[in-house]
Structure 1
Protein backbone atom coordinates (compact mmCIF):
# COMPACT_ATOMS: atom_id res chain seq x y z
CA UNK A 1 0.00 0.00 0.00
CA UNK A 2 1.34 3.39 -0.96
CA UNK A 3 1.79 5.86 1.89
CA UNK A 4 -0.10 8.49 -0.13
CA UNK A 5 -3.22 6.31 0.06
CA UNK A 6 -3.35 5.98 3.83
CA UNK A 7 -6.12 7.63 5.81
CA UNK A 8 -3.65 9.90 7.62
CA UNK A 9 -1.90 11.20 4.50
CA UNK A 10 -2.11 14.78 3.30
CA UNK A 11 -5.44 16.57 3.49
CA UNK A 12 -7.18 13.61 5.14
CA UNK A 13 -5.02 14.12 8.22
CA UNK A 14 -6.83 17.31 9.21
CA UNK A 15 -10.21 15.65 8.64
CA UNK A 16 -9.25 12.73 10.86
CA UNK A 17 -7.95 15.13 13.50
CA UNK A 18 -11.23 17.07 13.44
CA UNK A 19 -13.26 13.87 13.70
CA UNK A 20 -11.15 12.66 16.63
CA UNK A 21 -11.55 16.03 18.36
CA UNK A 22 -15.34 15.86 17.95
CA UNK A 23 -15.44 12.28 19.26
CA UNK A 24 -13.31 13.16 22.29
CA UNK A 25 -15.43 16.21 23.13
CA UNK A 26 -18.65 14.21 22.67
CA UNK A 27 -17.35 11.45 24.95
CA UNK A 28 -16.41 13.98 27.64
CA UNK A 29 -19.85 15.63 27.43
CA UNK A 30 -21.60 12.27 27.82
CA UNK A 31 -19.41 11.32 30.80
CA UNK A 32 -20.01 14.68 32.50
CA UNK A 33 -23.76 14.41 31.89
CA UNK A 34 -23.78 10.90 33.37
CA UNK A 35 -21.87 12.05 36.44
CA UNK A 36 -24.26 14.99 36.85
CA UNK A 37 -27.22 12.60 36.76
CA UNK A 38 -25.58 10.41 39.40
CA UNK A 39 -24.57 13.24 41.73
CA UNK A 40 -27.76 15.30 41.38
CA UNK A 41 -30.31 12.47 41.10
CA UNK A 42 -32.21 13.62 44.19
CA UNK A 43 -32.49 17.16 42.85
CA UNK A 44 -33.60 15.92 39.43
CA UNK A 45 -36.18 13.55 40.90
CA UNK A 46 -37.58 16.39 43.00
CA UNK A 47 -37.72 18.63 39.95
CA UNK A 48 -39.46 15.98 37.84
CA UNK A 49 -41.97 15.35 40.64
CA UNK A 50 -42.61 19.06 40.98
CA UNK A 51 -43.24 19.38 37.24
CA UNK A 52 -45.40 16.26 37.21
CA UNK A 53 -43.35 14.52 34.55
CA UNK A 54 -43.05 11.21 36.42
Structure 2
Protein backbone atom coordinates (compact mmCIF):
# COMPACT_ATOMS: atom_id res chain seq x y z
CA UNK A 1 0.00 0.00 0.00
CA UNK A 2 2.86 2.34 0.76
CA UNK A 3 4.21 1.47 -2.67
CA UNK A 4 1.00 2.74 -4.31
CA UNK A 5 1.12 5.90 -2.23
CA UNK A 6 4.66 6.57 -3.43
CA UNK A 7 3.70 5.85 -7.04
CA UNK A 8 0.80 8.32 -6.88
CA UNK A 9 3.11 10.87 -5.22
CA UNK A 10 5.60 10.57 -8.08
CA UNK A 11 2.78 10.85 -10.63
CA UNK A 12 1.53 13.97 -8.87
CA UNK A 13 4.99 15.55 -8.85
CA UNK A 14 5.58 14.82 -12.52
CA UNK A 15 2.12 16.04 -13.51
CA UNK A 16 2.58 19.19 -11.44
CA UNK A 17 5.95 19.86 -13.06
CA UNK A 18 4.42 19.47 -16.53
CA UNK A 19 1.53 21.78 -15.71
CA UNK A 20 -1.32 19.30 -15.41
CA UNK A 21 -2.90 20.76 -12.27
CA UNK A 22 -6.05 18.65 -12.19
CA UNK A 23 -4.22 15.36 -12.58
CA UNK A 24 -1.60 16.42 -10.03
CA UNK A 25 -4.27 17.34 -7.49
CA UNK A 26 -6.12 14.06 -7.94
CA UNK A 27 -2.96 11.96 -7.71
CA UNK A 28 -1.84 13.93 -4.66
CA UNK A 29 -5.18 13.32 -2.96
CA UNK A 30 -5.05 9.60 -3.67
CA UNK A 31 -1.46 9.39 -2.40
CA UNK A 32 -2.44 11.18 0.81
CA UNK A 33 -5.39 8.87 1.46
CA UNK A 34 -3.32 5.74 0.79
CA UNK A 35 -0.55 7.02 3.06
CA UNK A 36 -2.96 7.58 5.96
CA UNK A 37 -4.51 4.14 5.45
CA UNK A 38 -1.02 2.65 5.50
CA UNK A 39 -0.16 4.47 8.75
CA UNK A 40 -3.37 3.28 10.43
CA UNK A 41 -2.78 -0.34 9.36
CA UNK A 42 0.84 -0.14 10.49
CA UNK A 43 -0.13 1.12 13.95
CA UNK A 44 -2.86 -1.53 14.30
CA UNK A 45 -0.40 -4.23 13.25
CA UNK A 46 2.22 -2.93 15.66
CA UNK A 47 -0.24 -2.92 18.55
CA UNK A 48 -1.45 -6.42 17.69
CA UNK A 49 2.14 -7.64 17.58
CA UNK A 50 2.93 -6.10 20.96
CA UNK A 51 -0.21 -7.58 22.53
CA UNK A 52 0.08 -11.06 21.02
CA UNK A 53 3.86 -11.20 20.48
CA UNK A 54 5.99 -13.93 21.99
CA UNK A 55 8.56 -13.06 24.62
CA UNK A 56 12.12 -14.04 23.71
CA UNK A 57 13.47 -14.22 27.27
TM-score class, shorter: 0.5 to 0.7
Which one has the largest radius of gyration?
Answer: 1
**Aligned pair 1:26/2:37, yes or no?**
yes
**Aligned pair 1:12/2:30, yes or no?**
no
More helix, by proportion: 2
TM-score of the superposed pair, with normalisation by structure 2: 0.55
Aligned position for 1:39: 50
Number of residue-to-residue matches in the alignment? 37
Unpaired runs of 5+ residues, structure 2, are 1-10
TM-score of the superposed pair, with normalisation by structure 1: 0.57
* Separation (CA, whole Å) in 2 of partners of 1:20 and 1:34: 21
